[in-house]
A = this chain, B = another copy of it.
Amino acid sequence: MEQIVRDFNSYMDEIRMYSQLMGVAYFDANTVAPNTGVAARAKRDGFFSEKVFLMTTSDKMKGYLDELAPVADKLDDITRARFKKAKKNFDKSTKIPSQLVKEFSELKSKANVIWQEARKNDDFASFAPTLEQIVAKSKEAMEHRLEPGQSIYNAMLDDYEEGMNMEIYDKFFAQVREVVVPLLKAVVGSSKKIDAGFMNSQVDKADQEKISTFAAEKIGYDTARGLITESTHPFCSGTHKTDVRITTRYDERDFISSFYSILHECGHAIYEQSTCDTIAETELSRGASMGIHESQSRFYENVIGRSRGFWDYITKELKGYLPKSFDDVTSEQFYEAVNQAGPSLIRVEADELTYSLHIMIRYEIERMLFVDNLPVSELPRVWNEKYQEYLGITPPNNALGVLQDIHWSMGAFGYFPTYALGTAYASQFVSEMKKDLDFDGLIAKGDFAAITAWMTDKIHRHGSMHSPGEILEMVCGGGLDASHYTNYLKEKFEALYQVKV
């Protein structure tokens, strides 16, 4: 058995080597690589993705998993965690007939192109038949791997955040709906108007770069074990805890956009830089789940970065890098400007208050697609009705509505809801943290070390040794509870907009 454990771990290490090298290639492709090399890169990436797929679904892997399954409880913690992840992935990947995988993959490639064209031309009808096929194929594929009694959409939700299902999300979004919808209405009706125009003053890129480094280091990102550079879409790329990088993009008329990208990506990066050394050489060093990862990015971006205390502290510091035009801006003005809230059409541009409503709409629609068999042709109508109902606005066209996101063209159903978990998880963690630390006081002093140390102790160091549910249980003594999140939003936006709901 010792030999099997050793061989299994070596095999997993080998797969990890591929992921690491592919991570380097991803970073390269998205930062400096010339566009002309795109075809060669696509070929190479396809080759290595297939390589990893074949390794994770091989007979060799099956052999290890079969040998380890009966003794899983007796394995050391790290091997057991690796085994569980590998097994889940193996079962998921091998139950769908390879012919179906191939057909589906081709369909998705085609769908992506068709979606892009449809969005460009605001022509939902040209995308509908393909999306109909995507939905049908998704159902067909999931049927092969449902566990007894499991519904298709629940399996999808579990794919993107282990342990999640409609029961949990229904309750979660009900709480969100109950608080945020009336809160938004109150905000819209408030006589309080925030002027954020001053934020669009020119800030040279060179100064923004200095702000990036200052802010990143201040909140705890170790720039020596990474770097900050530019890319079209900001991302965090970690291949090992000794090398975790972040990117941003600079708009000289919107410095705050890069500022928050940095805080967001730093949350992801601090997480991966702070995993325990004992798992540094394994795939467990990446982060527990999409939701838990997002809890860290949203924690630094929103909970800290959009708090009043943070702006009380950072305003003076920032002015050291900002041009004269910001000299007279008060911390209060900054705080209000970065928290301006209101209805909007585009998810990726939504503010902190309304973001989860955008997600909720997508969740409800996916649920209708897979539980109620809503025809795809109905999507634009349902989409627009829900935007009207929850946000009080109707998209003027489908390009700004149902066609805006890439996810469905990729067959990524069940993915959206994880986006709503970030600040919600973070709010739960903060409730616990406040029992141990003077959270608000530390932020107002610009002293983030103890805060990050707490997060590292409770969450970061474990990497993905535990499922998101286990982490919630360990840290908060219970499961997902949206009340921390909704209380946080309520308290913040009632005060800011001088409303009461």
The oligomer's copy count stands at 2
Q: Is A371 an interface residue (CB 8 A)?
A: no
Which residues in B have their C-beta under 8 angstroms from that of A240? 37, 40
Interface residues of A in 345-368 (CB under 8 A from B): none
> Quick one: which of A235-271 are within 8 Å of B by CB?
239-240, 242-243, 245
Which secondary structure dominates chain A's binding surface? helix
Residue contact A21 to B25, C-beta cutoff 8 Å:
yes
Whether A440 is near chain B, meaning CB under 8 Å from some CB there, is no
Known: A25-B21, A39-B242, A242-B37. A229 touches B44 (CB 8 A): no
The reply to whether the CB of A91 lies closer than 8 angstroms to some CB of chain B is no
Report the nearest B residue to A226, measured CB to CB.
Answer: B34
Which residues in window 1-39 of A have CB below 8 A to B? 14, 17, 20-22, 24-25, 27-28, 32-39
Q: Do residues A239 and B27 form an inter-chain contact, with CB atoms below 8 A?
A: no
Partner pick for A40 among B14, B20, B43, CB 8 A cutoff: B20
The reply to whether A243 and B37 form a contact with Cβ atoms under 8 Å apart is: yes
Query: Least Cβ distance of A265 to chain B in Å?
Result: 16
Point out the residues of chain B lying under 8 angstroms from A229, CB to CB. 32
A196 on the B face (CB < 8 A): no
A48 interfacial by beta-carbon distance below 8 Å: yes
Name A17's closest neighbour in chain B (CB-CB). Answer: B47
How distant is the Cα of A245 from the Cα of B22 in the complex, in angstroms?
A: 19
- When distances are taken between beta carbons in the complex, the residues of chain B under 8 Å from A24 are 24-25, 28
Complex: A430 Cα to B397 Cα, angstroms:
64
B47 contacts A14, CB within 8 Å?
yes
Whole-angstrom CA separation of A478 from B55 in the bound complex: 51
Is A374 an interface residue when CB atoms closer than 8 A count as contact? no
The docked-state distance in angstroms from the alpha carbon of A21 to that of B36 is 17
Q: When chains A and B are docked, how far (Å) is the Cα of A25 from the Cα of B25?
A: 7
* A242 vs B38: C-alpha distance when bound (angstroms): 8
Is A224 part of the contact surface with B, judged by Cβ < 8 Å? Answer: yes
Which residues of chain B come closer than 8 Å to A38, judged between CB atoms? Answer: 242
CB distance from A20 to the nearest CB of B (A): 5
> CA of A38 to CA of B243 in the docked complex: distance in angstroms?
9
Query: Does residue A227 face the partner (Cβ distance < 8 Å to B)?
Result: yes
Is A225 part of the binding interface, using a Cβ–Cβ cutoff of 8 Å?
Answer: yes
Taken together as a complex, chains A and B put the C-alpha atoms of A44 and B15 apart, in Å, by 11
Q: A44-B21, A48-B21 are in contact. Are A34 and B225 (CB under 8 A)?
A: yes
Q: A17-B48, A44-B17 are in contact. Are A243 and B33 (CB under 8 A)?
A: yes
Assembled-state Cα–Cα distance A36/B239 (Å): 12
A321 to B384, CA, bound (A): 57
With a cutoff of 8 Å between Cβ atoms, the chain B residues found around residue A43 in the complex are 281
A26 to B: closest C-beta gap in Å: 10
Instruction: State how many angstroms separate the Cβ of A216 from the closest Cβ of chain B.
Output: 13
- 18 CB contacts below 8 A, A to B, read A14-B47, A17-B44, A20-B44, A21-B21, A21-B25, A21-B48, A24-B24, A24-B28, A25-B25, A28-B28, A32-B227, A32-B229, A34-B243, A36-B224, A36-B225, A37-B225, A37-B240, A43-B281
